[in-house]
Structure 1
Amino acid sequence: MKMPFSDNTYDAIFAIEATCHAPDMFDCYKEIYRVLKPGHYFAAYEWCITDSFDPSNQEHQRIKGEVELGNGLPDIRSVAQCLEALKLAGFQVIWDKDVAVDSPLPWYLPLDKNHFSLSSFRVTAFGRFITRNMVKTLEFVGLAPEGSQRVQLFLEKAADALVEGGKKGIFTPMYFFLAQKPYS
């Protein structure tokens, strides 16, 4: 939010699932704009709610809230809010797209407890059962700090909310944009 660099310092800037954690998207983009050289580019993957998100839908609100809480997000912004903040910061948006839309596999598959693969065994229902009991045992014998079980369950709930948000199409971690700082 306040980078210790001079104006017009960098040839390019990228962010992957990072700027969504900023308390104010406009201020974050404005700071990126400040340190980027004129005519150069800022590219990012942003976590966003999609146009399918219905703010009056209680289930959508619950999912959004659990994703935010479990992932340390101040507020998941919409794609439209992201674009507006970029433009207000001074950027010209060259290209943007939710690349999750055309993905051959759902982005949330590795988090889905109902999907089995050897690489994602630990997030399956059985893998979570084993992990939960291991954490419980480690906490009981004092090898894991008090509260480890609470954190384990908290993270499981966040992962489930990400999967729900992905399946309902109300959340994407793959909104990509390429923006340019104008020459003048």
Structure 2
Amino acid sequence: MSINMNANFLKLLTHFRRHDLTNFKSEHDELYEKALESGDHLEVTSHYYSVMSTVIDEYFGGNFHFVPPKFEGQPLEEALKSLHQHIASKLELKEDVKCLDIGCGIGGVMLDIADFGANLTGVTIAPNEAEIGNEKFANLGLSDRCKIVAADCHEMPFEDDTFDVAYAIYSLKYIPNLETVMKEIQRVLKPGGKFIVYDLIKTNDYDEDNEEHFKTLHHLEYACGMPRLHTQNEIEKSAENSGMPLIEQENLEETYGNRAFHYCFSSSPLFMWLVTSPVIDHTIRMAEVMRILPAGFKQFNRTFLCGTVNSIVEGGRMGILSGADILLFEKKME
């Protein structure tokens, strides 16, 4: 499927006509406040994806993660597949290598790297995602080496020293406390096993006391129902404390000629105009009044659609948000 941001934005305007968006936002706000108090974001994240998962699948190719393109104009779906295969190459995937995908969803990344011949096991907290992914693997004749298990990555149903390598692509951002998950990943990896993290992370330049820094990234966390984003230092420290020191880092923005990780948005002046223009805001409001769009769509758009895009782009431009760093860790030999 070709991912066209401009065309997809216009399609989104009609996607939500049957949703009660005012109630959705009220429930989201209530669940987010509850999550801040309890430290458990599972309910608010699930609520967010109850509406947004279809959006991500239909309008973003199923993978809401980012990568700078290798060359100007490279289609997003092609760039993402290239990213997944680059990670597979770094992990030296091949036949008889056992690889673990943390937070695999329905297995989109696994499909992109299945041709490497490794034995791929994905973990997702959602049983329906495991069912969908495993059915797809069966239909493609991949069940002998690709499977998804519904489990909590804080306590996975695998023996010690099971996997040769592992990766987590845009999934650790949903984990409030990294220590438990890192220790669990370390437990199931064989000694010398490698683990790659590729995620949205706060750079070490992020200053929580800077009002603009905090406001920009807090909006992203709130809109997506996420816990506080981790800094790179926090990820490295939690892995190190779990017996998996950092052995290599690659920033793909530098590798691919200083193109930004948010290129899929920011490279198009038309798209950025669509998500920031007061004209579009006014048009949406008029469509609400005429009942072409549901009540509450303007606020929903500002918060969950355009607001999220703006937070990602502005965070990247300010240098406080990274979405293109490959962090490679290795479990210490016993």
Structure 2 gap segments, 5+ residues each:
1-153
Superposed CA deviations along residues 107-162 of structure 1, whole A, max 9, x for unmatched, are: 123223x833xxxx6x44337839x84xx66xx469x7x76654433221111011
1:158 corresponds to 2:308: yes
Higher strand proportion (structure 1 or 2): 1
Give the corresponding residue for 2:40.
Answer: none
Letter in 2 for 1:11: D
Letter in 2 for 1:46: D
Q: CA deviation at 1:25?
A: 1.2
For 1:9 and 1:102, locate their aligned partners in 2 and report how far apart those are by CA, in whole Å: 33
For 2:323 and 2:292, locate their aligned partners in 1 and report how far apart those are by CA, in whole Å: 38
1:69 and 1:158 in contact (8 A); partners too: no
For 1:70 and 1:97, locate their aligned partners in 2 and report how far apart those are by CA, in whole Å: 29
For 2:173 and 2:205, locate their aligned partners in 1 and report how far apart those are by CA, in whole Å: 19
User: CA distance change for structure 1 residues 56 and 91 in 2, over 3 Å: closer, same or farther?
Assistant: same
Give the corresponding residue for 1:25.
Answer: 178
TM-score, scaled relative to structure 1: 0.79
1:98 and 1:172 in contact (8 A); partners too: no
Root-mean-square deviation over aligned CA pairs: 2.7
Q: CA deviation at 1:90?
A: 0.9
Q: In the alignment, which of 260, 265, 290 is matched to residue 106 of structure 1?
A: 260
1:100 and 1:172 in contact (8 A); partners too: no
Give the corresponding residue for 2:273.
Answer: 125
Q: In the alignment, which of 196, 210, 228 is matched to residue 57 of structure 1?
A: 210
Identity %: 23
Superposed CA deviations along residues 41-62 of structure 1, whole A, max 9, x for unmatched, are: 1112122111221221100010
Higher helix proportion (structure 1 or 2): 2
User: CA distance change for structure 1 residues 127 and 164 in 2, over 3 Å: closer, same or farther?
Assistant: closer
- SS of equivalent to 1:81: helix
1:171 corresponds to 2:321: yes
Letter in 2 for 1:162: I
For 1:61 and 1:87, locate their aligned partners in 2 and report how far apart those are by CA, in whole Å: 27
User: CA distance change for structure 1 residues 127 and 159 in 2, over 3 Å: closer, same or farther?
Assistant: closer
- SS of equivalent to 1:100: helix
Structure 1 gap segments, 5+ residues each:
none
Q: CA deviation at 1:80?
A: 1.1
For 1:127 and 1:164, locate their aligned partners in 2 and report how far apart those are by CA, in whole Å: 13
For 1:71 and 1:154, locate their aligned partners in 2 and report how far apart those are by CA, in whole Å: 9
For 1:102 and 1:53, locate their aligned partners in 2 and report how far apart those are by CA, in whole Å: 23
Q: CA deviation at 1:99?
A: 3.3
For 2:298 and 2:310, locate their aligned partners in 1 and report how far apart those are by CA, in whole Å: 17
Give the corresponding residue for 2:142.
Answer: none
User: CA distance change for structure 1 residues 34 and 74 in 2, over 3 Å: closer, same or farther?
Assistant: same
Letter in 2 for 1:125: W
For 1:13 and 1:49, locate their aligned partners in 2 and report how far apart those are by CA, in whole Å: 22
2:204 and 2:320 in contact (8 A); partners too: yes
- SS of equivalent to 2:328: strand
Query: What aligned pairs does 1:60-99 form with structure 2 within 5 A after superposition?
Result: 60-99=213-252
Which protein has greater RCO, CA pairs closer than 8 Å, 6+ apart?
1
1:38 corresponds to 2:191: yes
User: CA distance change for structure 1 residues 84 and 126 in 2, over 3 Å: closer, same or farther?
Assistant: closer
